[in-house]
Each structure stands twice: as C-alpha cells, then as structure tokens.
Chains A and B, each alone.
Chain A
C-alpha cells in the first residue's frame, strides 16, 4: 500500500477515527493491529520476516536487561566487599553473558538483511569475475526491511550498552518495529524517543491534529504535485544517456535533486504528520539540506536519522574501539601525530560510507556513491584549516553572497554525486558528468528536444511554483532557528486562514497531482469504432 494510493487514504481515515473513538488504553494496540494490516498488504508472507526480527530482538534484549539487572543487584548486595579488580572481573563476566545474546541477535538479523538484499549482488559479481553462471536467488524483499532492521538493531545496541531497559511487552516492541508511518522510508526512530509518545494515551487535540493534517497534505503535495510531475523527465534523461548529454546532464542533476527532495521529504512529512495526528512525536529527518554550506553540514541535514544511526552505531564504535586506539597509537609513534590522529577517523569513515552505500542498494552505483561521499568528506575535513585562514583574510567571505555561493556549490556537488542513483551503471555516470565539459548543447535544452522529456510547459510552471513554496517554507523554518516546524507556525494564525490553507492544499493535490490515468485527448483521435 503506497502512501499515495486510495487504499492507504481509506486505511488512514479508518485508523484515525477508530483511534479517538476506542478507549485510550487500547490506542497503541490499534496502532499495532493497523501496522500489521498495513504490512500484510505488501505480502502476507513478509509478516514472517518482520515477526522474526521483532521476536528475536525482543527476547535478546529482555535477556540482556535481566543479566544487567542481576549484576547491579549483585553489586548492591556486596557493596564495600569488592575491590576494584573484583568488580571489574565480575563486570567482564556479565558482559560475556550479554555478549552472547547480543551477537546472536545481531548476526541473525544482519544475516537476514544481507541474504535477502545482497545475495544476488554477490552472485552477479562472482559470475562476472569467474565467468560462472550461478543463477540468481531473486528473493522477494520484505517491505522496509532495511528500516525496521536498523530500528531493531539500534534498540538492541542501546539495551546492550545499558542506555535503557528492554521493553518487556513483546506487543509493544512489535509496534515500535512495525509502526506503519515509518516502515516504508523512515524516519528511523530511536526506541527511547519514540516510546515516550507511542504507547501513551492520547486525547483528541484539535490543534495538533490540524498541524498534522496540514503537514500530511503538504507532503502529498510535494510527492504528487512536484516530484511525480518531474519523474518522466528524470526517467527519460537517465534512461537514454547517449541521447541526453552535456547540458542535459546538468538538467538531470537539477531535476533529480528536486524530484528526490520533494518525494523523500514529502513522504517524511506524511509520516511525521500522521504521527502528529495520532499524538506520536517523531524526530525530523530533514532540516533544509539544500541550504548546507558544505558536505558535512549536508549530511547532518539530509536523512538525519539514517546519518545519526550510522554515526552512533558504526562510526563511533569503530573509531574508538580498542584495536583502533592501538593502531592509532602505534601509527603516532612511527609516523607522527598527524597520521595517528587521522587513522581512526579515516578508517571509520571509509567503513561507514561503504555501509551507507550498500544500505541504499545492492549495486556498484551505490558503493561508488558512498565512496565519493567519503572522499569529499575527508577532503573537506583536510581543507578546513585552509578555509579558515582564507575566511580570516578575505572580508567578503562573511557576506550573505558568499554563503549563498557555498550553498549552491554544495547543492551541485551533491547533485553530481547523486546521479549515480539514476544512471544504469558507474561508467555511464562518470562519462555523463564528463560530457558536461565536452558536449555543451546548452541551446538545445530550450528547443524542440525538450518535448521528448514528457514534461510540458505548464508542468514546469507548476514545478517552479512548487519549488518557490518549498524554498519559502525552508526559509521560514530557518528563521525560527530551526526550532518551530512550519505547520506549527500556522497555529498562531487566524483559524480561517488555517482552514483555507487546508482546503487549498487538498484541492491542489486533487487537481494538480500527477496521479491516475492521465487524460490524453490524443488517445481518442483515431476513433476507429
């Protein structure tokens, strides 16, 4: 069930009405049932996968917490009797016990994810290297498996670290894993944050519902009116790279940036807005990413919950691990302070970006995409002192003009890397970027050839208006110090204005959305019968 299907809208209305009709203590159970119904629509057999991940993670976490509690009780009971070494030894012993559960669960769930998502990629590579012809497995990929696996594993790691206790109720944990607004594309919520509002009782709060509804409608607007309208052009431009080179590649970078942003943030708006309507708070997943002045800032603003997941659960643990520290120390002794300091950061960075690339998809495109991001982040880190010097020297480096220059530069740089998403393979992507400097064809873009993209002049007008709206909303958000969500700003406005906006957004989606069987008068022209 896609967010943008009639079925989902009906489902949503049903859940919403029931949610506020039934006794409040059953609200979270309704969400659980709803989430499983939603999930079952993607294929009944996929319920098995999400159930296995849920149950194994729930059970392991409960075991880990029990062992940790036992340990703490033991310490409390034997206060003063134990010396530091004794304590340490006991701690190590319990850690060994928790580690068994932790690793078993981690490996099982990562294993499922890896087998389902990456088997065919591995087979393809083996085939091409050794010239074998092993058949593909073609596993059907369960809906949102990357998302719910990451959510579960984040929880498992936190429990193992003793950050919070395990959830004893398997049904509640199942809701956390399967919560329907998040299951398709995030945000990847943390258990401690989401559980604050997910299981609590909510009475109908019209202000929050209105805010949520506004955000949901705006999300639909972004997806259906803006993103889906550009989709044919992105498909055409990336589908025949030989035909569209030079200036067309620049157009693709621009269009794809708009399409992806509108589609992804639109989906997140819908998810967070639904949460708001149900009284469940989720963290933001985007904070005006296209206003970033450099790549590091970009990655703290784009798909934030994924970025912080990788940071907290992969980047930090690897870079501060014992062996990394040892490596760093010996490097420091042999090769100097600079190298020693950099080794943990660089190594962890490479691993994280490799993983991030793989997470996006089982293809070399994504791995190369990840590695390019890695190179650029490291390069910008290395250049930082240089920049600082330069900023100190040049007075105009502190002007708004220079800020905007940096934003535009970052936008195009990230856009250029991003086109690995859409071209069929890595060499084509690089070759296409190359043609920007060799083929030109800038005049062609405004010519007859444009009509082949399947995007009409009125479509472009709509997209431009849509972009203007997105930029204005972003600026409003930034002006609030990124603290007040735009749909919350409206609450201070007259109710009539809010109503007009709601109705307006709804009509906008219905009329200007690119959905359904497109009416095409040409279809009727040859009227044979």
Chain B
C-alpha cells in the first residue's frame, strides 16, 4: 500500500515536472519578435519608488520616455503599458501596481475608451500573460476573455501555446528559464524613422459615444485614484493615426470637467512640443520614435513637475544611483540601435522588420 502511494506521488510529480518544462519551452518568449509581449512582466523587477505611473496602450509606452523625464526633471516614473491595452486591463493593472507602490500621479491615455468589449485573443495574451498571479490578474482575465477563451488556458498557458511545438526556435530553448531586459521603465525604444506620408481620413461612424462598459472602468479608475489620494491625469497622445474624432475629444473633455480632472490633448500642441512628422515617428505616425518620445517627455515632464509639484530626485542619494544605471542602459541601447540600423538597415533585434 505504502509503496503504491509513493509510486503514485512519484508519477504525479514527474508528470507535473514534465508539464512545467513543456510549458516553459512552449510559451512564446517575445525576445526578438513582438517584444511588446514582455512589457508587463518586466515591471515586477522594477516595481516601487515611482512618482508617476502611466497606464494605457502603445500611445504611452512608445511615446513617453521616463528616462528623459528623469534626466531633465528628476521625475521617477514607470509605464504600465501594453499592446492594445483595453480599459479594464488598465484598471486592473493599476489596481495591481498600487499593491506595489503608491505614486503621486497616474496618467491614463484616453484612446482605449473606443473599445467597449474584448477585441482579440492575441492582444489579451500580450497584456495578461505577463501579469503575476493575483486577484487583479484573475479579474482582468475575466473582463477580457473572448467567447472562445477559457480561464484554464491562462492558468496553464501550455493549453494555449502547446501547438508551438512546430515553431520552436533556438530562442525558445535559450530563454526557457531567463529573459532579456529590453525596456526603460516600460518605454519601448525605437530609433528608426518612417515619416508620415499620408494623414488618415476619418471614416464616419454611426455612433461616436464611448461604450457603457468602457465608461464603467473609467469611473473605476477615477475612483481608485481618489481612494488612494492619487492625482489622475488624462491624456491623448500626439499620434496621428488612428484618427481622434472631435466627438471623442468632446466626451473626454466633458468627463475631465465633470470629475475635476486635468486632461491634455497633445495633438493640439504638436507645434509647442516641436514634433516633426518627417523625423519623429518610426511607423508613419502611429507611434513616435526616440526623438519624438524625448520631445514629448520634455514637454509633458515640465507640466508634471510644475503643475503637480513632483520632486526632483536627481540629488537623492537613495534613488539617483539606480537611475544612473537605467540611464546607462538607455544610452547603450540607443547607441546599439543606431549601430544595427547602420549595419542591417533595420532594427534586427529590437522588433524591427526588414523593409523590402
């Protein structure tokens, strides 16, 4: 009897071990391709000590450089951004972040209000898989799941990624138990340039009002910040594409006014920021590149510091050394990106794509 119990335990242990190994192997690593997949998970090693937290989609994590804000103003900040981050995901990410730290200011980008329900499973994964387990993750998954998704496949990602067996690369073995650091306080750096060639023509919509579900989470974000005594700042990043409708602008302004919040539409101050759409975007106006993001950071950092009285930590001996390392990492990556650009013509190991 005893022998049998031991053998059953042993077999179970071996099975679980093998499943774990299989899962580590088969989960996507997002090392050189779709590196956005690692944005969320990188936070946990850098959590804490930030005066500003940005939550939102790529209009934040590609457009704002916390390192630049540090260099110019001594502001400590982190971007909890991810691809097509939906507003309920922003809410739960913020909720989770507040378990690690309490910033003075939270910045939220308004573009994601356009989505009232889950959009694509693939993007859900990019945001949710990287989260550590907590009630926030559970609730974020529940709010985000498409009809054909199951909670079980988030708990055991192997159930989701098992079919990658035929696409495994050396990368999957190399990074089975480790990962690479790629971001700068949640900022995804790109130095390449692809100018804006055409501005989008707005497609008329039947209904411009943001959905009920989206507003619900907007209210929840507002309430959460109030509860923690955090100043919530709403923004619309200066991306040309996708089109930001006047009707959306009105709704954003109205909401800010009604709730006594500050709202900045950076599209309206492009000239003051000094954005040059021939040089400051890497994908024709969807996202800013490094030079654009730095201009944006200089402009926005000033507002943050002046209006919300954020401290300059540059002289703080407890904080500055760590940040100087971050600055080095930032500068090294910038140099390396320029090198790759020169060598290959595109950003080979930074998620760039070869231009035919």
Contact = CB atoms under 8 A, between A and B. Distances in A.
A524 B161 contact: no
Contacts of A514: 163
Given A527-B36, A529-B58, A529-B84, A517 B153 contact: yes
Interface stretch (B99-107, B116-124, B209-217, B225-233): B116-124
A130 interface: no
B126 interface: yes
Contacts of A527: 34, 36, 58, 83
A499 B11 contact: yes
Interface in A505-529: 506-507, 510-521, 523-525, 527-529
Interface stretch (B13-21, B273-281, B328-336): B13-21
Nearest to B111: A529
Contacts of B164: 519
A459 interface: yes
Nearest to B56: A529
A519 B29 CA distance: 13
Nearest to A9: B152
A94 interface: no
B160 interface: yes
Interface in B135-176: 148-150, 152-153, 158-167
Contact of B167 (A499, A513, A521, A523): A521
Contacts of B148: 517
A8 B205 CA distance: 44
A458 B166 contact: yes
Task: Using C-beta atoms within 8 Å of the partner chain, give the interface range for chain A.
Answer: 20 to 34
A456 interface: yes
Nearest to A206: B4
B149 A513 contact: no
A529 B85 CA distance: 8
Given A456-B166, A523-B122, A524-B122, A507 B18 contact: yes
A503 interface: yes
A511 B25 CA distance: 11
A514 B14 CA distance: 24
B186 interface: no
Contacts of B162: 510-513, 516
Given A6-B152, A524-B122, A507 B166 contact: no
Main secondary structure of the interface of B (DSSP, over half): helix
Interface string A472-499: 0000000000000000000000010001
Contacts of B158: 510-511
Contacts of B110: none
A511 B22 contact: yes
A41 to B, nearest CB: 16
Contact of A512 (B85, B111, B165, B286): B165
B219 interface: no
Contacts of B85: 529
Given A506-B15, A516-B162, A529-B57, A524 B126 contact: yes
Nearest to B112: A529
B7 interface: yes
Contacts of A524: 34, 37, 122, 126
Nearest to B121: A517
B213 to A, nearest CB: 18
Nearest to A509: B162
A518 B153 CA distance: 12
A523 B120 contact: yes
Contacts of B122: 520, 523-524
A405 B152 CA distance: 48
B166 A459 contact: yes
Given A456-B166, A459-B166, A513-B162, 7 more contacts: A458-B166, A507-B18, A511-B22, A521-B167, A523-B121, A524-B126, A529-B58
Interface of B: 4, 7, 11, 14-15, 18-19, 22, 26, 28, 33-34, 36-37, 57-59, 83-85, 111, 120-123, 126, 148-150, 152-153, 158-167, 242, 286
15 contacts: A458-B165, A507-B15, A507-B19, A510-B162, A512-B162, A516-B150, A516-B162, A516-B163, A517-B121, A517-B153, A518-B163, A519-B161, A525-B34, A527-B83, A528-B242
